[in-house]
Amino acid sequence: MAGGLQLAGYDAAAALGALWNGAFGSWYALTSSTLVRAVPLILIGLGIALAFRGGAFNIGAEGQFYAGAIAATWVGVHLAGVSSPLAIISVWGAATLAGVAWVAVPVWLRLRFGVLEVISTLLLNFVAESLVSLMVQGPLQEAQRIYPQSDPIAEAARLPLLPGTRLHVGFLLALFGAAALWYLFARTLWGFRLRAVGTGPRAAEVSGRIDTGRFTAIALAGSGALAGLAGGVEVSGVSYALFQNLSPGYGFTGIAVALLARLHPLGVVATGILFGALEAGAGAMQRDAGVPAVAVYVVEAVVIVVVLLVEAGRRAGPVAGRVRA
């Protein structure tokens, strides 16, 4: 990246320095820029890892995120006199259910008609984005009706912050989610059978004890739930309201987060923070060194390609050696 920047006429050292500072340069940067951006990425990444393990491709996390955000905002705005923990739980619960509802149609289409969920989930993203537009210019628009955004959600529904920062409780939720999924995959029979369904669906089916359809459906539902929850967490922890473009592509970056972590829940935390850092630093890089923030997307792409190449190289090893007389 340094070489590219230098070639393009920018001061590479200054740019990279700004990137680093923007992400890790201070306690504030770390918590309020990097980690805050990491939360939705981790949650969505976990959901996508879950789906992938079950052999399903959830490309609709963006839409599920928005569905969750819509539900969260609706509940958060209409809460009256509900005290804090309950308010937060209601908001999160609504968001989670909305995420599941948003993925339910693709799941049904896959089970009933064999429609590839890659397509159905992807297309629903657009519907969700339009729905957000509709909501913030219609039923959910602020009372003053000036801007296309919702009223702020009730105080009780806003997440507690780490004092002195903008890091909200959602971060703990993300860590908890990662730990829970790790346990599920590594230690439970259900988690193992999910992996079997994803790696060898025919053998899983023939083993006689695994209903592959159900496993895939549950994995996709869980994936939608986590993406929806991410939307709810973002609304209750960061934006406190709904507006268009609430998500800078979390649903898609989340795919990279999951794949880069090779679907390992604890790895997702690491890659989520990595991508959070890159995006946090991008803003600083643009501000302080004049390098267009989009250069960071190039970095993200390079990282992904390198990891995939390494993975392909590893994969060619032990299975190729199976050539037997």
Partner 1 sequence: MTAPVLELRNIRKRFGSVQALQGADFTLAPGELHALLGENGAGKTTLMQVAYGLVRPDAGEVRVAGMGVAMRSPRVARGHGIGMVHQHFTLVPALTVADNVALFAGWPVSPRALRERVRELGDRVGLPLDPDARAGRLSVGLKQRLEILKALASDARILLLDEPTAVLAPGEAEELLAVVRRFTVAGGSAVLITHKLDEALAAADRITVLREGRVTFSGPSQGQTPRSLAEAMIGENKFLATEARAGGAGLEAGSGEAAPLVRLESVEVPRESGYGLAIRPTSIAVSGGEIVGLAAVEGNGQRELLRAVAGRIMPLRGRLTVAGPVGFIPEDRTTEGLIPELTLTENVVLGSTGSEPWLVGGRVDWRGARSHTAAIIQEFEVAAPSPDVPAAVLSGGNQQKVVVGRELSRTPRVVVAENPTRGLDLRATDAIHRRLRAAAAGGAAVLFHSTDLDEVLRLATRVLVVARGVVVEPPAGASRAQVGELMVTGGR
Q: Which residues sit at the interface with partner 1, rule CB under 8 A?
A: 187-190, 192-193, 195-196, 199-200, 202-204, 206-209, 318-319, 321-325
Nearer to partner 1, 101 or 111 (CB): 111
Tokens 């309950």 locate to: 86
Nearer to partner 1, 2 or 203 (CB): 203
Nearer to partner 1, 110 or 193 (CB): 193
Nearer to partner 1, 126 or 183 (CB): 183
Minimum CB separation from partner 1 for residue 267, in Å?
A: 19
Nearer to partner 1, 86 or 203 (CB): 203
Measure Cα distances from 159 to 96, 111, 118, 171 in Å.
16, 38, 33, 10
Minimum CB separation from partner 1 for residue 316, in Å?
A: 12
Q: Are 61 and 251 in contact (CB under 8 A)?
A: yes
Residue (of 83, 78, 75) closest to 143 by Cα position: 78
Using left for φ > 0, alpha for ψ between -120 and 50, and beta otherwise, residue 290 falls in: left
Q: Is 99 exposed, middle or buried (0-12, 13-18, 19+ CB in 10 A)?
A: buried
Minimum CB separation from partner 1 for residue 265, in Å?
A: 16
Minimum CB separation from partner 1 for residue 314, in Å?
A: 12
Q: What single DSSP character describes residue 159?
A: P
- Phi and psi at residue 186, to the nearest 5°: -85, -25
Nearer to partner 1, 172 or 203 (CB): 203
Residue (of 236, 235, 258, 242) closest to 41 by Cα position: 258
CA–CA gap between residue 23 and residue 262 (Å, rounded) = 24
Minimum CB separation from partner 1 for residue 315, in Å?
A: 9
Minimum CB separation from partner 1 for residue 277, in Å?
A: 32
Q: Are 48 and 40 in contact (CB under 8 A)?
A: no
